[in-house]
A and B are shown apart, each in its own frame.
Chain A
Amino acid sequence: MKNLYIKITSCFCLILALVSCDSQLDLAPTDVTVESDVFATVQNAEQALADGYYKLFEASVGMTHLIPDFSLPYVGVPDIPFYSDFYGGNLIAINSEVEDIWSEYYEAINVANVFIQQIPLLGQYDETTELQHIGEAKFLRAYSYWALLSFYGDKALTGNSEGLCVPLQLAPFNGAKVRPEDIKPRSTNDEVFAQIITDLTEAIEDLSDSHGDNVKTRVRATKASAYALLSRVQLYKRDYQACVDATTAVLGNSVYNLELGSLRDLFPLNDEGATSSFNDEVIFGFPVSSNGGNFQFGTHGLFYYNRGLYAHSDFIEAMDPADKRRTELLFDGNPLNTTTNVNEKTTFKYNNPDSRDDIIVLRLAEIILNRAEALAQLNGVNSESVSLLNQIRERSGIAPVLESDFASKEALLTALYDERYIETAFEGRSRFDFIRTNRPLRNSALTEDQKTFPIPQREIDLSGGILVQNPGYN
């Protein structure tokens, strides 16, 4: 009898122990947050979304920002291959910036993709906020693809709709996909444009108008910033009516107003230790000053303050002496630099000694010019375009122009191009504006092929040739 008990007990014990311990194995490391927890609370999700914005910031500054500017002669730049490769026609597919711009935007895209895919699966917070986060992620993705298209799309900016652009990666990383059947080929320019427009259109649905706080509203995506970006993308796509439509929503928004006073209110003096502040004209920007960091970490990597890069005197001389953009937005830069480019002036747009100025990505002046340009393309010389142009001229302190000053659509467009050139100089887009309007870059001998970046060689190698190189780089 006693033995029987023992037998029963031991068998029971054994069975008990064998009963699934699976739940005991669901241990997560304690020093990290796992993805399901990231989307469990709105606080965590916001912090993870901040990573998306931060990655977009990292991808967009530094050489990504500088190259489109110094592709034109208004930027004084040391004549060394590091810079000249980008305007001299010597670019190769293993250039580290060609690689970095590509990989950094795709890192931002991956964060966006995680949000877009995982929130519906894992999200456990308020649905409106969830949708808004998805909208913000789509904005981040759209912006990244716009930049990639502008750099890498084969003649994407000159209407080559069937030209090859970049692979459209719309799902988050979920294990390495390196087998040939997993490799995504390059989509066409049209397909990428379409994806950007879809993302922005959907984002507009879900985004709110404001994030409460004035600064926050300007550093995170809103309906207005999505419309603003959409207007830029449509202009690049040459869908002028769509561009005009997109600008309407922005121009009618009372939150955004042209700065009519000093332009140094728009581009303020950023002393060391300044925190972010954005003028009413700013639609979207990166709050670099408030991001933490110091002279070493968290900087924008634009070398203007120390006059490593500077404003070329020809550019300055060509401007009206009364132009506030000449009188207010140029200065001597770092007074402690007494050795390099001593006699040159530099842009006041990046005046922080620690390279931690806030970066303006979208601002009203651009949208006004977008609308003016699109209307001119649609309607030729027209009063609204001229009046929009004058808004920019007058606030810069130069004489307005009249509709009658322009003999042709082309004349008006040229004036608009020139205005945009001066207005947005040093803001990291001139290369694209010049390419899309068929005007020569710094090196006028560049072929159309050379105006497009090569696809990083590593991507082509890893794809086993499924990704093909842009013409002229093989």
Chain B
Amino acid sequence: MIKNLILSVSMVLCCLTVSFGQDITKAQSIKAIEVQGIVLAEADNQPVLGATILVKGTVKGVASDFDGQFSINVNLGDILVVSALGYATYEHKVIDENPITIALKESIEALDLVTVVGYGVQEKRDLTGSIGSIKAKDIDKTIVSIDNALAGKISGVQVISSSGVPGSATAITIRGISTLNADSNPLIVIDGVPVYGANRANNTTGFERGVIPGIGFGGTNVSNPLRNNLSEFERNPLSMLNLNDIESIEVLKDAYATAIYGSRGATGVILITTKKGNSKKPRVSFNHSTTFSDPIDIPDVLNAEQYSEIYRLSNPNYSNGNSFPFTGQDSNWLDNVIRTGVTKNFNVSLSANTDKLNYFFSASYLDQEAYIANQDFKKYNTRLNIDYKITDNIKIGANATLNFSDNASLNAPSIYRNAVLKAPNIPQFDDTGAYFFGAEPNISGIVNNPLAQAYRDINNVEDDRIIGNIYAEVKPFSWLTLKSEIGIDHYNSEAYSRLISRPSIVGGNATSRTVENKKFVINNTATIVKVFNNVHSINSVIGQSFETSKEWSFATDARDFANDDILDINQGGVVNVSDPLLREWALFSVFGRVNYQYDHKYLAGVTYRLDGSSRFAKNNRYIGFPSFSLGWRVSNENFLKDASWLDELKFRGSIGFAGVDGNSGVGGYYGNQGQYQLFRYGNNSVAQYLDSDILQVIQPNNPDLEWERTRTLDLGMDLSLFSGRIDLTVDYYHKKITNLLYQSAVPWYQGYALQDQNIGDMENKGFEITLNTENIKTENFTWTTNFNISRNTNKILKLNFDGTDETGATFGYKYFAEGLSAGQFFLFDWDGVDALTGNPVWNLPDGTQTQTPPASLPNSSQYRKPMGDALPDFYGGFTNSFTYKNWNLEAFFSFSRGNKLYNGTKALLYTYTTTDANNLSTDLLDYWLIAGHRTDIPRFENASIIRSFFGGVDYTSGRDSDRFLEDASFLRMKNIKLTYNLPQSILDKTFFRSCSIYAQGSNLLTFTNYSGLDPEVSAFGSSALISGYDELTMPQTKSYSLGINVGF
């Protein structure tokens, strides 16, 4: 447990105190006797190091040494106040007894007083940086992935879930988007090892599906959905870790906290600390939970008869009979693939902390069924954390976890999508009882059969991952701790997809993709803690780190299999190797931190990190990131000493720098050496000049490129009142990113049109409030509230030569413009439907209206307008917890306000002009009928659907208008949980140490104006930059759980 961390700090701290204690002893006036004693932990009779022994009523005292021993001169009758981190304060009256033994009780509250920081731990009261923290007891263990458990729990941390697919990615954004180049996901460090975190390129498993050509009878290029065929799946690299192993999660937010991670600190850092043994006697704990999950909601689509009628009406071209006939067949595709998913989770752990040995062992198993039939996610985790004290000042240890996961729900999004979209008048099975592929009786349509996809296609990804570190710690002097550690993160995955034979893919196909990510890190640190003259204290660390990463991937695919039962790729008729890729990078760093405090009253700190990255060539390879902080604990001033209601009032401020080291994965190399690759034509054949392959420059020398630099100013206040009944933390920050790397124009005569340049600037401003209150506290009843709210405003200050980049907008994505947020939508202004003609009406920026779709006009982007931000104005969460005797009821809400979400699901279900002839929303039944009819659904054949012989464009359902842009503000009860703890009196009669059972409901209640199914989705996984799209993205689950926790 944290105790060990505390121990290591206090070991250091105490040694200093020892020395200062001795000084004081000398200065003591006459004392009658010298008392010798030992301080022990009551739980395991281990000596407590660094306990402070004060004579009550004076400021005189000593500290216990390594063996817990102390000696102090006192008078008989004096009261010794013994306190130590992690233990309840104990008072001992001196009687004629020598030596004395003092047994300290553990205190849970006391454990909260220590915070893990980069390369060390610190007492919370001495912190000058902004760090959010969540402890094991506050983590919802029914959640599968760590990042999801953070959602709404810590101010300044925004977690955007992507979908209801098990193991799917999330976008974690700490204090806003920090770069336009890479995803803004934070660095994640587990027990000192920076691990592979969210990264679209690295975690996306692609598998080519039978693509339905999108040529339409009204064909639509503009309205083509962004994700027409979801043939890829972005995994969440954190989902395979075991939440039960986590002791605490610390989120480093401001520059003072993150600068120690230098070039990777700009997007914030998440430190995860895993558990240790904490009792002398071995302890076993066991948890189990069973969860039943359903989708939050499912779309309302037409039945076969309605479908047939709408398509008949909307396609007057086919006058000779209905090309979409209703034959009596009514397939409810969605009903046939949706089920209640059952999740079973088992976890067992064994831990102890003996004289020499501390260990924590755990094993867990999770079987999570998606709410789509036959799609599930399984994972197996084991962990062993162990350390051994060879002597009093040498310790060796290891933390290691082996994980295996098998995600067989990659297909779920595609099945869901096809089940929603597939025409209901198409039969599910053919006459022989086999899955029916095809669009008949319709003239065209989706030929894929979602049932066959669910039950016959194979699609899974198996990941195995080892994260671990081995360390040795030596304390040559009382004030110095040297630690060396070696860590690894080996993350391998094998994805396999097998599609059975069908008319669109005769012979079927198979794809296999292997990804190996290997990370290796060495950290060496020297921690120095020293106190001078009783009041000056220094807590510092210097160190060095070297990290390498190798990312390798490889895919093979095959088609034309003899039959559907052959799985081996080699047996395919045509076998291809594709996308072999190998990337390596390395980071060498030196860092240091000095924290100084005067009498726990005045705090100051400096950190510095020098990073050298292989991604930059020699000219700009090394860069330093300094930061500075100051703190003032007003509550420790003499003039407030008497204010007993005031526990703590601290003002703190920091300023510092951090960076973004490119993208942590593929594509992150921006070295300044010209780079060449063979030039390939669009059909992938190598272009030649006569008989010579062509080696083409893909990136010229660009030696002037510099690192992106983030300067963060943080001003904070911590206030604690009435013995901790009210705890308030407020932070204001201003985060300015300069040297933003972005493609900008260069004169053509220099040989290129666009090159990366450090022109851009961006800022994030915001504040965060965390308020924890104990509203009612009686003997039997407690009510506590934890509340946090964050506001962030992002603004691009400078971008490129033009000041704007609309490239993304033309494809329906975001665009960037100076003066606006990076999450801005840039769209045509849809006004509504003209009741007289049934045509869509568009607003032009000059205030006029038109029935000609502006997208069809030349130079159309002049008619677009910024239409809102995908990033929220405010977000946060609150938990209310009620405890009555052995019962506890806890409700956790999260909220988000002001964020826009593009309801692409609706756009798709409003699109009746493509050859997909997809099923439609029941909203369409209110289509415009006659002049004067007021409705949102235009006339089927309207002026914004421009058909021509070659196809045409449907401007009504394009992602380039604001017709489907909606406010996705929400307040959601994420979790409500009722727990019953077996009373001690009963436990005493059993061999159980603890036992609790609980019932829990998740996502049961949502308040939102969003008309889609779920406001908490994002079609683009871990990318916060292009969040804000709901593209038939699978909604989150609504679930009920039952669980039991047992300890013995």
Interface flags, A146-181, vs B, CB<8A=1, else 0:
000000000000000000001101001111111000
- Check: A111 CB closer than 8 A to any chain B CB: yes
The docked-state distance in angstroms from the alpha carbon of A254 to that of B546 is 65
Chain B residues whose C-beta falls within 8 Å of the C-beta of A53 in the assembled complex: 689
A-B contact count (CB 8 A): 234
**In the assembly, what is the distance between CA of A417 and CA of B750, in Å?**
37
Which residue of the partner chain, among A10, A31, A169, contacts B749 with CB atoms under 8 Å? A169
Q: Is A407 an interface residue (CB 8 A)?
A: no
> Is A38 within 8 A of B681, CB to CB?
no
A211 — nearest CB in chain B belongs to which residue? B690
A293–B685 CB distance below 8 A? yes
Report the Cα distance A18→B701, complex, angstroms: 30
Q: Which residues of B contact A174 (CB under 8 A)?
A: 700-703
Q: Is A46's CB within 8 Å of the partner chain B?
A: yes
Q: Which residue of B lies closest to A26 (CB)?
A: B614
Indicate the member of A21, A49, A106 with the most B CB atoms within 10 Å: A21
* Chain B residues touching A, range: 35 or more
- For B746, list chain A residues within 8 Å (CB): 173, 176-178, 462
CA A99 to CA B748, docked complex, whole Å: 9
Is B578 interfacial (CB 8 A cutoff)?
no
A292-B685 contact in complex given A28-B671, A50-B694, A287-B690, C-beta closer than 8 Å: yes
Decide yes or no: A44 and B695 within 8 Å by CB, A103-B753, A175-B705 being known contacts: yes
- Contact assessment for A50 and B692 in the assembled complex, using a CB-CB cutoff below 8 Å: yes
B586, A27: Cβ atoms closer than 8 Å:
yes
Could you tell me if A14 and B524 are in contact, using CB atoms closer than 8 angstroms? Answer: yes
**Stretch in B278-286, B672-680, B906-914 with 4+ CB within 8 Å of A:** B672-680
Contacts A18-B590, A30-B584, A175-B705 given; does A51 touch B696 at CB 8 Å: yes
Query: Beta-carbon contacts of A2-39 to B below 8 Å, as 1s and 0s?
Result: 01001100100110011001101111111111111010
A-chain residues with CB within 8 Å of residue B705 when the two chains form the complex: 175
Asked if B669 is at the interface of the complex by the 8 Å CB criterion, the answer is yes
Given A219-B689, A287-B689, A293-B685, A33 and B695 touching (CB < 8 A)?
yes
**Interface flag for B752 (CB, 8 Å):** yes
Given contacts A29-B583, A35-B674, contact A167 B749 (CB under 8 A): yes
A398 at interface (Cβ–Cβ under 8 A)?
Answer: no
Let me know if B704 and A175 touch, CB within 8 A: yes
Task: Pick the residue among B584, B674, B677, B693 that contacts A50 (CB under 8 A).
Answer: B693
Contact with B along A87-106 (1 / 0, CB 8 A): 00000000000010011001
> Nearest chain-B residue to A171 (Cβ)?
B750
Q: How far is the CB of B583 from chain A (nearest CB, A)?
A: 6
CB pair A31–B583 under 8 Å, yes or no, is: yes
Asked if B320 is at the interface of the complex by the 8 Å CB criterion, the answer is no
Closest to A216 in B: B690
Which of A46, A47, A458 neighbours the largest number of chain B CB atoms within 10 Å of its CB? Answer: A47
Of A32, A54, A102, the residue contacting B689 (CB under 8 A) is A54
Contact between A293 and B751 (Cβ–Cβ < 8 Å)? no
A176 in contact with B689 (CB, 8 Å) = no
Contacts of A33 in B (CB 8 A): 675-677, 695
* Smallest beta-carbon distance A367→chain B, Å: 23
B640 at the binding interface (Cβ < 8 Å): no
**Are A114 and B674 CB-contacts (below 8 A) given A22-B612, A176-B755?**
yes
Q: How long is the Cα–Cα vector from A471 to B147 in the complex, in angstroms?
A: 63
B585 contacts chain A at the CB level, 8 A cutoff = yes
**Stretch of A70-78, A225-233, A294-302, A321-329 that contacts chain B:** A294-302
A352 at the interface (CB under 8 A from B): no
- Say whether, besides A14-B482, A27-B585, A172-B700, A47 and B695 are in contact (CB < 8 Å): yes
On whether the beta carbons of A172 and B704 are closer than 8 Å, the reply is no
B641-685 vs A, Cβ < 8 Å mask (1 yes, 0 no): 000000000000000000000000000010111111111011101
A110 close to chain B: CB less than 8 A: yes
| Residue of B with least CB distance to A291 | B688
B430 CB within 8 Å of chain A: no
Residues A292 and B681 in contact in the complex (CB < 8 Å), given A10-B476, A30-B584, A34-B674: yes
Name the B residues within 8 Å of A17 (CB-CB): 484, 522, 524, 544, 546
Give bound CA distance, A76 to B584, whole Å: 57
Q: Does B535 contact A (CB under 8 A)?
A: no
Q: Is A184 an interface position by the 8 A CB rule?
A: yes
Interface positions of A from 92 to 151, Cβ below 8 Å from B: 99, 102-103, 106-107, 109-111, 113-114
Interfacial residues of chain A within 297-329, with CB under 8 A of chain B in the complex? 297-298
Q: CA A49 – CA B698 in complex, angstroms? A: 14
* Known A-B contacts A14-B482, A22-B588, A459-B748; A32 and B687 likewise in contact (beta carbons under 8 Å): no
User: Across the two chains, which residue of chain B brings its CB closest to A100?
Assistant: B748
Closest residue of chain A to B522 (Cβ to Cβ) is A17
Query: Is A428's beta carbon under 8 Å from chain B?
Result: no
Measured between C-beta atoms, what is the minimum distance from B276 to chain A in Å? 23
Cβ of B474 under 8 Å from chain A: yes
* Given A21-B546, A38-B676, A184 and B749 contact (CB-CB distance below 8 Å): yes
A54 to B692, CA, bound (A): 11
Tell me if A463 counts as interface (CB < 8 A to partner B).
yes
For A294, give its contact among B548, B676, B678, B683 (CB under 8 Å). B683
* Bound-complex Cα distance A456 to B749 (A): 11
State which of A3, A25, A27, A462 has its C-beta within 8 Å of the C-beta of B747. Answer: A462
User: What mask results when residues 121 to 153 of chain B are scored 1 for a CB within 8 Å of chain A, else 0?
Assistant: 000000000000000000000000000000000
Establish whether residues B685 and A31, one from each chain, have CB atoms under 8 Å apart when the complex forms.
no
What residues of chain A lie closer than 8 Å to B696, measured between beta carbons? 48, 51, 54
- A459 to B688, alpha carbons, bound, how many Å? 31
Contacts of A24 in B (CB 8 A): 546, 548, 586, 588, 614
Complex Cα gap A174–B754 (Å): 13
- Docked-complex contact B751 and A292, CB < 8 angstroms: no
Interchain CB contact under 8 A, B474 and A51: no
A276 interfacial contact with B, CB 8 Å: yes
| CA gap between A472 and B534 in the complex, in Å | 84
Q: Is the CB of A54 within 8 A of B544?
A: no
- A415, CB-defined interface residue at 8 Å: no
CB of A290 closer than 8 Å to a CB of B: yes
| CA–CA, A215 and B691, complex, Å | 10
A435 at the interface (CB under 8 A from B): no
A183 at the interface (CB under 8 A from B): yes
Query: B692-727 interface mask toward A, CB cutoff 8 Å, 1 = contact, 0 = none?
Result: 111111111111110000000000000000000000
Contact between chains at B687 and A297 (CB < 8 Å): yes
> A7 CA to B474 CA in the complex, in Å?
8
Q: Decide if B614 touches A48 in the complex (CB within 8 Å).
A: no
Cβ–Cβ contact B747 & A459, under 8 A: yes
- Nearest Cβ in chain B — how far from A149, in angstroms? 13
Q: B687 contacts A463, CB within 8 Å?
A: no
B1002 at the interface (CB under 8 A from A): no
Contact in complex: B751, A113 (CB < 8 Å): yes
Contacts of A30 in B (CB 8 A): 582-584
List, in ascending order, chain A residues with CB within 8 A of B1004's CB. Answer: none
A50-B673 contact in complex given A17-B546, A25-B613, A30-B582, C-beta closer than 8 Å: no
Nearest-neighbor residue (CB-CB) of B704 within chain A:
A175
| Closest A residue by C-beta to B667 | A29
B694: contacting residue among A18, A51, A216, CB under 8 A: A51
Query: Which residues of B from 442 to 479 have beta carbons under 8 Å from A?
Result: 474, 476
A51 in complex: contacting residue of B524, B614, B697, CB < 8 Å: B697
User: Of B581, B588, B690, which one neighbours A21 at CB under 8 angstroms?
Assistant: B588
Q: Sorted from nearest, which 3 A-B pairs have the closest CB atoms?
A: A110-B751, A297-B681, A35-B674
- 11 sample A-B contacts, Cβ–Cβ < 8 Å, listed by A number: A14-B482, A29-B669, A31-B581, A32-B676, A33-B675, A48-B676, A173-B701, A173-B750, A178-B801, A292-B686, A298-B681
**Inter-chain pairs besides A10-B476, A173-B702, A177-B750, 12 sampled, C-beta below 8 Å:** A13-B484, A17-B484, A24-B614, A32-B677, A38-B695, A54-B679, A111-B697, A173-B755, A175-B703, A287-B690, A462-B745, A462-B801
Which residues of A are in contact with B by a Cβ distance under 8 Å? 3, 6-7, 10, 13-14, 17-18, 21-22, 24-36, 38, 44, 46-51, 53-54, 57, 99, 102-103, 106-107, 109-111, 113-114, 166-167, 169, 172-178, 183-184, 215-216, 219, 276, 287, 290-294, 296-298, 456, 458-459, 462-463, 467
